[in-house]
Every structure is written in structure tokens, then in C-alpha cells.
Structure 1
């Protein structure tokens, strides 16, 4: 008998359907020679500090640095039932081999291995490594199971990353909280992200507007421009020298330019477009894509690749007519699949693609966010295979009284991929800023324009804009890349899988607020960045760690060497920052004293507080959160109010009136039960 262990119940259901595993039990399934169960995220997690020493419950400077010699792991309090089921099956004498079917990546590997080791299971296991939940992909994955040893180094890298993050978070948070008298959350990835937002705010506050002037001359309807000039008197001199004088064309340069179609989506570019076009947060886009993956409508979402492999050529060809049919568009070109292929740029997972299941989907069964994201994914596949956009570019240089003026213009030669993009944006009600084409008269080099009319326009410099989800993700993707060693892969701050949660944690901690689509740092956020040392708020640390983690994955660095490096860093951080900056003392909020809690966390028992977008646990080591505008409630045209949250935390359920039924187009009342499986998102179900 073989035991398959997945990361989530929905993935288990898809595998069960393909392998004909049809006998259901509480928390597991069996059939066709298999047992099948799931982890619901991290069943086993890193222990909290007081699990090492009860004295650590009280934060004291004398305890720092906290650097465990032997790491302790424990079963997540809210997931004990499922852990016992997985343990029972792993140790079942009938089971002689396991199959790890958690998500194919660092974190998925860690989720399975922690349980496997905690159970003290020593049975051999294989690794399922797939990027899609469609039947064909699952079958192929089971036909080509990987040897578990091939992922040993990936697991070690994941373990190193988790332990190092724990050390920085625990020691950094305690150190700076004790120094400044407030509860401060410090993290290797979180703090540099906050620094990006804070630094932009400082640039805005310190910005001083400056006027500048541009001289113009009119070449019989064609406007030519001079250079920017800061001195108004100089602009007047040029005006007086050119107004009414003759202008001679120095040169006319014509060229045909082209713009390549955008690449396929990785998660970050999908999140950026989700925000740019529909105002979705990074977390909302990730959640929608994960749901599409579990519904077998899209491939694995947490990918940082924008390409496919050579062996996928035929399957992608099959997707194109289905994609055009889904969008109600016709393909006016012969798709070029070759431009999508780059085996060297596909590591764990290929780019995000739709699946052939889109031909059967009833979009009314999808949430609004799922529909928007699915449309983006499908449209991007069509765009990526379309011809280049071509335009003619004309640059005219003219001389008037010894001063040079220039006119530029573009004329579309072939719309190419932009034809499909424009139609898609019109269909999705996405407004575009269109630039008017400049029609150039027949101008030749040496041509003279008599008595031209001159003018001056006055302008002001603009401050930089605050970051939104789109621009912040872009900066996070490249931050610290200058510190990546030659030949190393440049990934920026965090990973495609974690950037959304980093942003949401900053909001929950009230270091930033999301004002419409902009991020604004709070006073606490500004003060935290002023307080912490450069090594913590710079992306350099993340880049250096990524360099070392990749060396571990490649077998070039041992875990013990990495551990010693991190330990020395933590000791240095504590020793070098034991004296507070007096000017910052008292500037940090202590939320637990200032605010009334909504209730106690069902996972760890700590107070839960209300944030702008959610109700969150005050314990930084706990991930419990209730999102006010979540998919379950938004589909019923409701949000989680403070009263509903209080009911959930007190009784585990709440009676809600005026719920909307999409199918019947009516409203109804029902009791909603909170189902907390301990994962990233809390689930709900109706009781009539």
C-alpha cells in the first residue's frame, strides 16, 4: 500500500479522481492500492520561544541573542486532529512507501518533511513534481515520480531559510521592542519592504518643486521643442532670438521600430497587472490564481518563470484555439510557440497558463476575482504568441538662430499583438491612455521654414509617486539584485509566493496603510526604519542569503556552515544595537494597551485586534487572520463586521441576515460557521 500526502484537501480530491481513490474517511481516502491524506498547510511548525525556555515568555535584554542549539518543532494547535490522521497512516504497517505530493517547491518540500520527521517515519518515499492539476499532468507526474533524494538539498535550503528567518524575527523584534518601548515586528524580508515605502515617503516630503521652461517653434503645423531650461531669462533670450526668424531642417531620421509581445505570466507580473487593471491586491490575485489552480483551470501559481519547456509545445498549441474561443476572439495570426520556449529559464515551474478545462468552465461558478484573473491569464497566452507591434519613428532636427529644436512622431505600421490587447481591454472595460499620432508633413533635410512663430511653455517638476501594489512588487522583484553573485539568479526581496503576504503583514502591523491604491507609511513605520540598522532594512541581506541558499541547493555549501554564518550575524546585530536612539523613544504604538480586542485567537489564545482590512492575531508568530472582504462573504455581498468577528471568536459561528444568493437572485438569512483548518485562510460554511 502506498500513502500519498498532499498539501491541501482540494489537491487531494483532484488526485483521487485521476487515480480512482474513491472510499472516503474522516481526513483521508483509500482505493486502488493507495491511501490518500493531506496536510492543510504546515501541520508541524517551528516552536515558539517559551517552548525552549519558560523564562523567554517575558522579554528581557539579558536573554538575547536567542540561538537554539537544537531546534524544536511542534504540531500546530489547531491542526492536531489532521496531524494524528497523517501520523496514523504514515506508521500503518500496510504502508510500505509514501509519495510526497505537496506543492512542488521549497515550502511544499518543507511542509512534508517536517511532518515526516516529526512522526519519526523512516519509510522510503517518492516525489510527485507537477505544475498543473489537469488529469494529463497528474497521470504524467505519477508515471515519472522523482526519487526523494533528488529533493534533499531543496529541503535543506528551505529549512535553513525558515530557521534563519525565525532567528532574525525573534531577536530583532525583541531587541528593538525593548529598546523603544513598543511592540516592533522586525523581519529579514518584511523590514526592507517597509524601507522601500518609507524611503519613497521621505523623497516626497523632501521634494522641492522647481520650475522649468521649454521653447517651441511652429514648422507650419509641426511643433518642435527645445531643451528644458531652468532659467526663465535664458528662455526669453531664445524666444527673442527665434521668433519670426527662419528655421532650417538639419536632419530627418526615419526608422521602423518594433515591440516584442509581452512574455507569459509569472506570479509577480500577474499580480502587477491584476492591480493595474482591476485594483486587485497582490494577495487577492494570488488567492484567485490558487483557486483556479485547484479548480484545474490554471497551472501552478507560485512560479517565477515566464517561459515553457520544449516538451510543452504541442499542449500549448492545443490551448490557443480554446483561449481565443473563451475570449470570443478570432486568431488573425499563426502563433509562434517557439518564442515561449526557454528550458534554461524554467526551474521548478513553467509560466502560468490556462488549462484545457477552460472549454468546460461555467464562469458564473467563479468569483469575480477568479474571472478577472482567468481572463488575464488566457489573454496573455494569446498576446505572447502574436507578432511584434511595428511603428515608424520619425525624428526631425531643426536649427533656428543657432538653437536646435526637435520634433518626434510615431505612426503605426502593424498593430501586431496590440490589436488583441486593445480588444481585450475594451471587452474588460479597461481604459487606456492613447497618444495621438503625429502626422508629419513631407519634410526634407535642408528645407527652410520662413518666419517661424516661437513660444515658451512653463512647467513644474513633480514629486515621485507613492508606491502602489504594481510598483512595489516591481521594486521588490529587483531590490538587492546588484548584490547577487555573477551567474546567480536575481530574485529580489522575498519570492513570488511570499510577497503578497509580506505586504499584508505590514498592513496588519499598522506600519503602512493602503489608501485607495497607494501605500502610506504610518508614524510607527517611519520610526521603525529610522531605528533599525542598515543591515536589516537593506535588501543586501536577503540577496546574500539567497546566494547561500542556492549554494545549498546545488550542494556547494553545507547547512552547518550556513547556520554558523547566521548565528554570527545575530550575535553581531544584538551586540551592535544595545543603545537606543533617544529621539525615537515613545514613537511606537503598543496596540494591545491602546485598543480593545475583538476576542481571543482560536489558535494561540492571544488577543485579536481590528485592522483596516482585517481582524488579526496580535501574536507575530501566529498567522490567524479574518479578512473583512473575503471571497465567501463578497459572493454574498457581505463583509465581516466587528460583531460577526466577535461571534466567530466567541462561539465559532454567527447569524447573518441579508445574504445574497446568485442563483436565485434573492436574499436570505443563515448561520455562518467559521472553519479554521489552520491554513493561511479561514474557511466558512452555511448552516440553515
Structure 2
């Protein structure tokens, strides 16, 4: 009898359904010659440092560096009380081990996800039981019945997965060693017993540095003025078009240059000297990998984070409706051609443009060279009937991207007109561009509208006249703040330049992604971004990510600069990737990590004891006072922006004033406090807010004041529909 161990209960149910096992018992399915049980993700976790040595229960600089001679595991802790074991995990682990030991079980099949983390989950449970029985691996990209039955016929000996396990163990041990040692020593050295933990991690810090660098670029950016000269031309048929004056240089930085041209061409005739009409093609964007899916949805839908996208996609995957989501590939394996054709047929039923969908095999879709471990994310042949609203969004996006690959290529016509002014010797000419969509193609799938720029029918040598001209002033713009979409792309490519996701990805960048040279993996990047927010290193304003004062201070002051280096982190991730391919050994990698950790601890210990402070509201760091939004209504000190709110900078001396960003009262009306709102309230005491939403869903505008309660130190909102009414309310308290 075979015993299957799945990563989660939902996956165990999928296996049971495929194998027609009906009877469910306490912690497992039994029937038809199979036993099928499950974990809840990780059931075991690494020892805490104090589990190895009692002296580690207290943080002392002299206790570090601390690297165990052999790593050990225990039942994972209760997330609500780290001092206690997780009772559910302990019970399920006992059930699994009892099933492994049953005499009628002659083989064990690990059916956890086919990645290094799934390998680690399965192997840690199985080998912790000390079993000598044969262990196999079920390697699947989806949990549909057909795929499970096919996988049953192609079970692999688990020994073949040893390199994948070594990579999983090395990742886990590396993060433990660097995290425990550097977090502890940095906190002791730079927090001076204030009880605030400085989280240090090999993926956390380089990601923070990416955001810090972009913030710095924006802060240091100095806009430069440049100028444009536009002219409106009229044909003999009274049709009008506009042209922009250009020369070889990209921008005119001196207004006087164009003022001379403007005077010279006043009331002069002109001639169309060239007209080029070019038909161009637009291919659909590539199939989704996880990072691209997260970037697309967080950019398009309000309130989504990359962490949420991953959780929802994982849920749909476990329900059998999409393939494995934690992939870095944007193409499918060539062996999937026949299967993909059947999926296309299943998901395209009843579409209004069904007749335009044609299955084809090409290198954009099927390409082994662009697949690593798992193919791109696509739907399965099973059509969902019940999905949550969030699941429906993610599923539809994946399905649409899949269908786009088999729709006609979109085509448009681009016309470029060159107009030269007669009787005037100019160094440049006026250029006009028009664009007309002639074949909608794959854009129909998501009703993507392309704005046409229509031009009148003109020919070369046609005479036109200048109706008027306009000389306008413009300014160069700073780089945009990072969003989760742009940050994920930097993490995926380890900071190497790339084209926009919606266009063709260069071969060099795709090669970098598929060779494992990245910050984290597709499976871990969302969690990294979430943790950066949770520990207070970054904050969000709408879709934009920015460093907090704490994050900036950490980047500028923390002495281990290697941890901020994308190349260093990318090389570690590349080594883990190579370990999966048996190109480097686990010991070789870990020795390098241990040497780095020992050196880093020594460096931190020898560094001058500066203060890197962590706060939740405001902080009294003088460097942040220049960012004052106004005076605190309670004590008159500057109010500055913190992670969760806009608080008084004199918090250390007891001032409790704070305007919470996610204020509960405003949240009931679907609003949150922005920096601009806080500044207005502090300076004018009253703010007019538009677009508030009532309980019935109606929108309205109102005046608000944030006022101290007469009976205590708390502040609350007063609201009215005009300023006079508000003044009356607030005067009454």
C-alpha cells in the first residue's frame, strides 16, 4: 500500500478524488488501496538558539556569533504563543508518523509542491520519522485528476531530489544564521536596550536599498526647463494638423533658440516634403510568471498587494483551476502542446470572438529554453463554477493572458509627416505622427482601447500654410516612486535593466531570470515586501512604496554594506539555484555563509554605537524635523510622518498626538488620512473632503475638524456639511 503525503488538506482531497478514495478518517483518507494524508505547510521548524544553549535565552553581544554544529528541528510553535507547540501541527505529525509505521505501508510518496520549499516540507516530515521504507516523489504542475493519474505512472525515487532538498536546507539555514546573528547583534548594538528589534535579512536589506535608491534619486532630482514649438498647418482643403519643430538635439534648453525660429516662420508658407506610412505589429504580452502576475494585478486593481495575489493564486491552484503559480517562466514546455490545445478548447467556449482563436505552436508560447522547473501560469481544462470575487479576478486575468496568445496579432498603421517652411533656412523641420489601429486582434480579449491619432489625407509636395504657433515651457520629471510592480521586476532581474512588462523581454534579461540570478525567488518576493512594511522599513501611499525614516537610517548607518548589494544577494540566490542542479555542494555554500556571518558580527561589534531608532508614530530624530507637516495642536512640536500615522516628534517626552493613516472613522467612509490632508488640518484646522461614501453607498462632501475631547487626552472627528455648521458643533465640544 502506498501512503501519499500532501502539503495541504485541499491537495490531499484532490489526490483522493483522482484515486477514487472516498473514506475520510481523522487526519487522512483511506480506501482503494491508498492512504492519503497531509501537512499544513511546515509542521517542523528549526530550533531557536536558546533550544541549543540556555545562555542564548538572553541576548548578549558576547554570545554571538552563534552557529549550531548541527541544525535540529522541533514541532512548529503556536503563532499566538511562541512558548507553546502548535497543537494541530503536533497531532497531524503524530498521525503521519503512525501511518508511515503501519506494516501494510510499503512505500511513501511525497506529494508536496514541486519546488525547494515543498521538497523541504515533505522530507523533513518523512525522514524525521526515521523510516527505512522506499520514498517516491510525485512531481506535478497542476492538481487535475488527469495530471495526478499521469504523475502516478511517472513517480521518481526521492533520492533523485536530493539536490533540491540541499538547496531548500541551505536557504533555510542561511536565513536562520544571518537573521539570528545579525538581527540580535544589530539590535543590541544600535538600539541600546530600547526593546525595538532591528530585522536584518539577506533578502530584506537589498530590497530596502532598491526603494531607498529610488527615493534618493527623486530627492536629489533637479528639474530642468526645456521648450517646444508647435505649429498648426492648414491644407488647401482646410484640413488642420499639428507639427512639432525638431532638430538633431533631443530638447531645446534655451527659449531664445525657438523664439528666433518662431519669428522667422511667421506667416510663411510650408511644404510637406516627406510622408512615411508603416504598418506595425503588436504581439500579446508573454504568458504570466508569478512576478508579472503580481505586478499586473497590483497595478490594475486598487487594494491588492503582491502577497495577496500569491495567496489567491495558490488557492485557485489548489482548487485545480490553474497550473503551479510560483514559477519564473513565461513560456510552456514543448511537451505540453497537445495538452494546451485541449485547455484552449475548454476555456474558449462561448466567447464572442471564438472564431478568431486559432491554436498554434510557436517559440513565443512553447520554448524549453525559457522554462525552468515549472512552465508559465495557465488555466487547466477544468472550468470553475464557484470562485470568490478575488479568485475570479486572478483567474480571469490568467485565462485572458492565455487566450491572447492564440488570437490574431494586433496591427496598426503609423504615419509620419515631415513639413518644411518655405523661404526660411532652418536647421530643423516640423514632424507630425499619426496612429490608426487596423487589426484589433488579441486586444479584444480585455477590450484594450488604443487611441487613434487621425491625420488628414495629405501627399508629398502638398502646399500648406501656418495658421498659428505656440511656444510652450516644460520641465524634466523625476523618476517615479517604486510600486510593487516595478519593485518585483527589479528583484526578479537583480536590478538589471529591462523593457516594460507589456513589451518583449530581452533575451539577456530572460536568461538572467532563468539562471536564478535574482533577489529571492518567485515564491518569496511577496513575503519580503510584506515584511518590509510590517517591520516599518517602508510604507505605502496609494500604490507607491517609499522608505520610512527608520528605513533610511538603517541603509545609511548599518555597517554591513554587502547585505545591501544586489550583486552579493543575487550571487547567493544563484548559488542556491546551482545547488539544485548539483553544480555546487551544500557544504561549500554554507561555509561561505558562515564565514560572512562571523565577519559581519565582528564588524558590527567594532562599529561605533550609533542609534537606529524604530517608532510607530513619529520619531525625534533631528534628520526628520525638516519634514515637519505643521505644529502639534497638543504641545506645539513639529508633526512628522511615521509608518502608521502623522505623529508628534516629541513623543519621547509623552506627547501622544497622532493622526492615524488608517483612521477607523474615515475608513467607514472609504477614506484614509493622506500627507496632504494632515498638513491642511495642522495649518488650517479644518479640511474639506470630497467623495466620502455613506453606508448606503452614496458619495458626499463634508468639512471635518480633528479636535481634542474636553474630558480626556483623546482626539476625535467633528463633521458637518458647511463650515458654519462645523464651527457651531466644535464650539459646543
- TM exceeds 0.5? yes
Q: Out of 194, 198, 210, which is 2:212 matched to?
A: 198
Residue 250 of structure 1 deviates from its aligned partner by 4.6
Indicate the SS of the match to 1:356: coil
Structure 2 residue aligned with 1:87, among 59, 79, 97?
97
Measure the CA separation in 2 of the matches of 1:26 and 1:5: 14
Q: Which residue of 1 aligns with 2:241?
A: 222
* 2:543 paired residue number: 517
Q: Match for residue 439 of structure 2?
A: 414
Change (3 A) 1:577 1:586: closer
The equivalent of 2:665 in structure 1 is none
Q: Helix, strand or coil for the counterpart of 2:312? A: helix
Q: 1:677 corresponds to which residue?
A: none
Q: Deviations over 1:477-513 (max 9, x none)?
A: 2224589998961552211111111111111112222
| Secondary structure of the corresponding residue to residue 138 of structure 1 | helix
Corresponding residue for residue 391 of structure 2: 370
More relative contact order in 1 or in 2 (CA 8 Å, sep 6+)? 1
**TM-score, with structure 2 as normaliser:** 0.75
Of residues 336, 354, 369 in structure 1, which corresponds to 2:379? Answer: 354
- 1:212 is paired with a residue whose SS is strand
**Counterpart for residue 64 of structure 1:** 64
Aligned counterpart for 1:237 among listed residues 236, 257, 260: 260
Contact 1:247/1:452 (8 A) holds in 2: no
The answer (yes or no) to whether the contact 2:436–2:452 under 8 Å persists in 1 is no
Equivalent-residue separation in structure 1 for 2:524 and 2:110 (angstroms): 22
Partner of 2:126: 116
Q: Distance in 1 between matches of 2:608 and 2:209?
A: 18
Match of 1:8 in 2: 8
1:46 paired to 2:43: no
After TM superposition, give the deviation of residue 450 of structure 1 in Å: 4.5
Q: 1:542-581 counterparts in 2 under 5 A?
A: 542-580=569-607
Closer, same or farther: CA 48–487 of 1 in aligned 2, 3 Å: closer
The equivalent position to 2:200 in structure 1, one of 168, 176, 186, is 186
Q: Give the distance between the partners of 2:151 and 2:210, measured in 1 at CA.
A: 41
Report the Cα distance in structure 1 between the residues aligned to 2:518 and 2:257, rounded to whole angstroms.
45
Q: CA deviation at 1:307?
A: 1.8
Give the conservation status (yes or no) of the 8 Å contact 1:245–1:452.
Answer: no
**Residue of structure 2 in register with 1:662 after alignment:** none
TM-superposed CA distance for 1:440, in Å, is 4.5
Q: 1:341 aligns with which of 366, 373, 398?
A: 366
Measure the CA separation in 2 of the matches of 1:421 and 1:343: 28
Distance in 1, matches of 2:262 and 2:473, equals 13
Q: Say whether residues 1:314 and 2:332 are aligned partners.
A: no
Aligned mate of 2:468, from 439, 453, 459: 453
Give the corresponding residue for 2:315.
Answer: 291
Aligned residue number for residue 179 of structure 2: 169
Pair 490,153 (structure 1): closer, same or farther in 2 beyond 3 Å: closer
User: What residue in structure 1 maps to residue 411 of structure 2?
Assistant: 390
Deviations 1:623-652 (A, max 9, x none): xxxxxx9xxxxxxxx9xxxxxxxxxxxxxx
Q: Work out the CA distance in 1 between the residues paired with 2:325 and 2:598.
A: 38
Q: Which whole-Å deviations, capped at 9, do the CAs of 1:80-108 have from their partners, x for residues lacking one?
A: 11111112222233322110100111110
Describe the SS at the equivalent of 1:16.
helix
Task: Tell me which stretches of 4 or more aligned residues in structure 1 moved more than 4 Å.
Answer: 326-329, 480-488, 579-582
Whether contact under 8 Å (1:11, 1:294) holds in the other structure is: yes
User: Residue 529 of structure 1: CA displacement?
Assistant: 1.6
The match for 2:401 among 375, 380, 388 is 380
Q: What is the rounded CA distance, in whole Å, between the counterparts of 1:490 and 1:255 in structure 2?
A: 39
- Corresponding residue number in structure 2 for 1:133: 143
Q: Does 1:589 align with 2:615?
A: yes
Q: Could you list the runs of 5+ residues in structure 1 that have no partner in the other structure?
A: 426-431, 595-610, 614-628, 630-637, 639-688
TM-score by length of 1: 0.80
Q: Match for residue 646 of structure 1?
A: none
The match for 2:223 is: 209
* Contact 2:553-2:612 at 8 Å conserved across structures: no
Contact (CA 8 Å) 1:271, 1:282: kept in 2 or not?
yes
**Which of 296, 307, 329 is the equivalent residue of 1:305?**
329
Matched, 1:405 2:430: yes
The structure with the largest alpha-carbon Rg is 2
Q: Note the C-alpha offset of 1:266.
A: 1.4
**Counterpart Cα distance in 2 of 1:436 and 1:286:** 36
Secondary structure of 2:143's counterpart equals coil
Of the structure 1 ranges 4-13 and 89-98, higher mean CA displacement relative to structure 2 is found in 89-98
